[in-house]
Structure 1
């Protein structure tokens, strides 16, 4: 019977021409494994992308749609020595928890055996008049304790090395396994031959140190992965959908479409993006937009998937569900951040690939050299084992990915998401930041700036009338007035405004001409040329509301902070000169241009780059996308148009501009730590390898040194969690 494998359920469409599949891969233990898998799959014709996320051992593959059977990828990974299956978050979490428990068990066995064999070794070390038979007895007791313990505790390394050798390749676990097995085998031979020394204690302690380092590495990656897990936990699998005027039904989120109406009860997390059409409540959207205060949710207010409804029930008209929500977009960007790969990572990958064969050649030459200079085979093999262990490039393999992973998670918690592999190192070099104005330095929503000049009762009435209009300026009036109940019998006259009659008086809201308020409008605009105006008329009374986008609350502080860090700030905007001048003067930006077209923004950025400047462009909107692509590095708010987000290297959450400074601070510190880790890893090998070659390090000392170097690199990487 012919059996076929169908992976269509797991394959997703990236676009019209590209398919995507996530696979969970077992046995990924180092940077060398990642590079090997990526090279092996990228070599398949029609594969456009293969990227391993070391944090959760997930392989993301993209290929030309219809060109390949996804089963081919499973087979190719098997040829490389790795077992793979479709990635499912719940299964992945169970697998990772199981692996962590297994590593901890192996560590416990190795540590227990180490303590016991050390007690057995003490009489041999201090027993100057010990009989050979007694010494042999203690050696055999040590063998009885160590051999089964090492066979069990060494499985994480032995299995990985065997899989690599079966695939006719090597990884970092190969020299470790060879060193441990040689030490155990030689100790057994020495015990059989009644020799004075055996190395059971060194072998089992080597495994203890190695397992401790690997377990700590596992826990560090679990902590980083928890950031993504927190977002995944926000995703609701079902929604309460209205299937009739008064009939609701709980349905899978896949069954909800834009335009549907859903019910969000108190205490529930929202499953969709949409707009409130009925009800009033407060929502907690801190994990989605960065806004820490609870936001009032009422008619006309946008809500997002993952936000928590605190009090009343809401009816929401769906604008996006499932993969189209803001939460899904943030999750995608976070995934990119955790998969980010800079040229420093690529350098470490290449070095790790060269190390495995180099380690074996160095150990072999060391052994032969010692024999050539008259040493016994026993001493030559012991020295070669020490070389195998001490030169394992674990520290080098962890040096950059550890910093990248920690820094990416820390930046996310600070409201910054990476969308490009080498964004951190490019942000660290930034010396010039060019801001767009509208939607970047300003908030995307319009606001009424002269609310204090209008009587509260009039303002409330105008807001209730504005609820009937779809015009964005009218919506700003309704939002500023916190209007909840619309007026009845409202008539909208296209292009002019809305009107109704209340208590025998006609109310109008719309253009100044429609309300007969041209003179008042001219007076308001003469005082502030950058505002838009909307007029309100009640009988013979006329009022004019001045509406514009407000500067972000911390924009001035952000610009000052950039100046304090030696960064030059410029403002390029397509808006009118009065509006741009007002923003530049308010924020303290000396270099600015108004009325700038997209092509002119690109030309200006290219001119700055030719002068040797490292330019960060911060902007939103589709017209900013070309300029974002032209800059050395780019950044957009999460509210930006989708095209700008996909072009930008970084995306920031919330209404504050501070993440621009935060990104630069974190990137600069991360780059310092990457260089420090590379220096530590290379310096360790420069010092340790000669010591081992000349016989000054036993296998146990080599194990302590190698594990200590890896631990030092990981602890240094953890400093990337803070910028202070």
Structure 2
């Protein structure tokens, strides 16, 4: 059924894409799922090609989701032209549907897994015949006939496996060349195809050297990295989905007759009256009409203390109703809520990161045309010199083989695998190699406060033990975060009799035969107009209220971490949604002089945009929903393992445990990895300066070329392992 629907949609799109066009203000918009786009070059090619069409005002491609959004002025463009342009560029398109995008993602994952399995089969089985040949050549014991037979057996296994497993690289290389660019898949593809071609030629002529096993083994190693990268990208695709999951699936709507009915969230319109019970999330942005309560908005704003809400209070989707029953009036549809707006900011952030050009592609842009030009000139030069065609081809092939696309292809992945493994052992999960490269480039660090610099859990500060034990029975009957912290401090015990919660105010009940209250200052009878600290008040009836302050402690190593970051030449600041006093205390306590408080999620994202516009490369460390957009927009981002799902999926790295020092570790390892990768490229360049001329002159035999190729790959791998040496901290 799903396949039928997909084919139907695709057919409809091909016939008349206008049926999928939607109004966007005074313009028209079409959203398409584009397949085959993998790199910054693809993104630029698509956006430039579609953006050049007459009337187009926006062409935004998101590599993470595969979605292309196109806007144009009515009457100046036919929707069919967009699809035809994409087709000419080599990127098939269909109507964007999250379910279809997920299906395409699954197909890609299965294809890579199958290619990896085939390459593993080919590499392992080819060795059964290659190893005896190597041993025979070494001791001069194997005759020409047996050696040729073994080569043909190796070819029967390896060549088909290499051609099948290499399809991913071949297609990517072809798309890159068609776009006038050369990515890392170009030398890999040419190296693999030439190795197979030269090996078949050598085998047919009973030659002594063939490279079938090298070709399929290289593909096996590279496909491991490609498959892992796909899985990590798939994880990143779920960021906006996890964020929107914070909105409820259904809402309790009050019908005209006053009855409450369950309705799908997508059917809730502005003006609808809804019921939100204690413990429920606010389904849409709304204004409270009836009732009073307290709201947990920590994920939205970062403010640790619950917020009082009453008639007339505006509330945002995603906030949790803690205590009282509320009747609210919706002021926006779910797709227009604050949560949906944050999701759109996250998508925009992912879009900007898609433009990042990785080290390997930058190296390939220089390396590939140079080496291939030398090989072509070698062929032409020897043909002019009168060398037979097969010999001229062999010398040109020797240039390409000895200049080592294998080492070039492994230069960065080998380093990133070692670095990612080291960080994993330090409880830091790296989601992609590009994230490590970006992390090595940062020049400033931005921290959220709650849950990052601090533990994000309120703790009772200094208080009279007798007061704590007296208030604990009421605290145990409440779901309020501060009451829970008080109950945790007091330990297990009795619950107050007749305990009941006054929405938005506190708890009332009987403790040891006396009526008592626990909650806000006004509720308990305190005269303090404004509470400067996060606090609870307690009083027995007829007695003076007493106050209990709560604090959110800094992580134990926060100060040491900030000091270490500054020592590495990084500027540090705090962006928080919490109140001024709490942010000031935490920031100055950790050694951060630059901080801003009371920021909304949009303010945080705008602050990151401002840093980037000023030429900075910020690292954002955050954990709440209010940080998700900033995490997506930052040059690179880190989230703790206890962060909201949306923040973890938006972040490039996730660290476990309580130690903030993991951020310093990650930066040190990333910088060390970048140095090792640049050293590998430098080694490849120096090696080629020596090896290429020798190959051009015909001084390199196939055996020497094979040994040199293997040796350079081994050198690259051994250099990558240096990331582990002496802690690999990059100090």
TM-score range, shorter chain: 0.5 to 0.7
Distance, in Å, in 2 between the alignment partners of 1:423 and 1:685 is 20
Structure 2: gaps of 5 or more residues:
1-10, 286-298, 301-308, 488-494, 644-655
The answer to whether structure 1 residue 94 and structure 2 residue 100 are counterparts is no
User: Residue in 2 aligned with 1:42?
Assistant: 48
Give the aligned partner of residue 212 of structure 1. Answer: 220
* Structure 2 residue aligned with 1:681: 681
Write the distance in 1 (CA, Å) between the matches of 2:455 and 2:546: 22
| 1:667–1:510 CA distance, 2 compared to 1 (3 A) | closer
**Unaligned stretches of 5+ residues in structure 1:** 275-287, 290-298, 308-313, 468-474, 593-600, 602-616
Is the CA contact 1:179–1:386 (under 8 Å) kept in the aligned structure 2? no
1:680 deviation in Å? 0.5
Size of the alignment, in residue pairs? 635
Deviations 1:96-125 (A, max 9, x none): 113321342255246545644776898899
1:666 matched to 2:652: no
Aligned equivalent of 2:401: 389
Question: TM-score normalised to the size of structure 2?
Answer: 0.61
Query: Which residue number corresponds to residue 646 of structure 2?
Result: none
CA contact (8 A) 2:439 2:667 kept: yes
**Contact 2:474 2:499 (C-alpha < 8 Å) held by counterparts:** no
Tell me, what secondary structure is at the counterpart of 1:88?
helix
The answer on whether the counterparts of 1:464 and 1:487 sit within 8 Å (CA) in structure 2 is: no
| Equivalent residues of 1:25, 1:84 under 8 A apart | yes
Q: Are the equivalent residues in 1 in contact too, given 2:411–2:681 (CA < 8 A)?
A: yes
Offset at 1:673?
A: 0.6
Taking a change above 3 Å as real, the CA distance of residues 116 and 9 of structure 1, as seen in their structure-2 partners, is farther
Change (3 A) 1:137 1:322: same
1:356 matched residue in structure 2: 368
Which string of whole-angstrom CA distances, capped at 9 and with x for unpartnered residues, describes residues 504-561 of structure 1?
A: 989797656x87655xx69xx9xxx95377766654312132556x23341x531133
Q: 1:152 to 1:505 in 2, by over 3 A?
A: closer
Match of 1:562 in 2: 562
SS at match of 1:545: strand
* Per-residue deviation, 1:61: 3.7
1:60-459 superposed matches below 5 A:
60-64=67-71, 75-83=84-92, 86=96, 88-109=101-122, 112=125, 115-116=128-129, 155-156=167-168, 195=205, 197=207, 201-202=210-211, 204-222=212-230, 224-225=232-233, 227-228=235-236, 239=249, 254=266, 340=353, 345=357, 348-370=360-382, 377-391=389-403, 396=408, 414=428, 424-425=438-439, 428-430=442-444, 449=461, 452=464, 455=467, 459=471
Q: Following TM superposition, by how much is the alpha carbon of 1:154 offset from its aligned partner in structure 2, in angstroms?
A: 5.5
Correspondent of 1:4 among 12, 15, 20: 15
The secondary structure found in structure 1 opposite 2:547 is strand
Q: Rate the CA distance shift 1:693–1:539 in 2: closer, same or farther, 3 A.
A: same
Any idea what SS the aligned residue of 2:15 has? coil
CA contact (8 A) 2:449 2:575 kept: yes
Are the aligned partners of 2:375 and 2:396 in contact in 1 as well (CA < 8 Å)? Answer: yes
Q: Distance in 2 between matches of 1:183 and 1:363?
A: 14
Q: 1:144 to 1:671 in 2, by over 3 A?
A: closer
**Deviation at residue 353 of structure 1 after TM alignment:** 2.8
SS of aligned partner of 1:100: helix
Structure 1 residue 211, shift from structure 2 partner = 1.8
In the superposition, the TM-score normalised over structure 1's length comes to 0.62
- Give the secondary-structure state (helix, strand or coil) at the position aligned to 2:545: strand
For 2:417 and 2:198, the matched residues in 1 are separated by 40
Do the aligned partners of 1:531 and 1:546 also contact (CA within 8 Å) in 2?
A: no
* Whole-angstrom distance in 1 between the partners of 2:576 and 2:155: 76
- Deviation sequence 1:337-371 (CA, Å, 0-9, x none): 7984687x456434323433323211022334456
Distance 1:574 1:439 in 2: 12
Coordinate RMSD, CA, aligned: 6.8
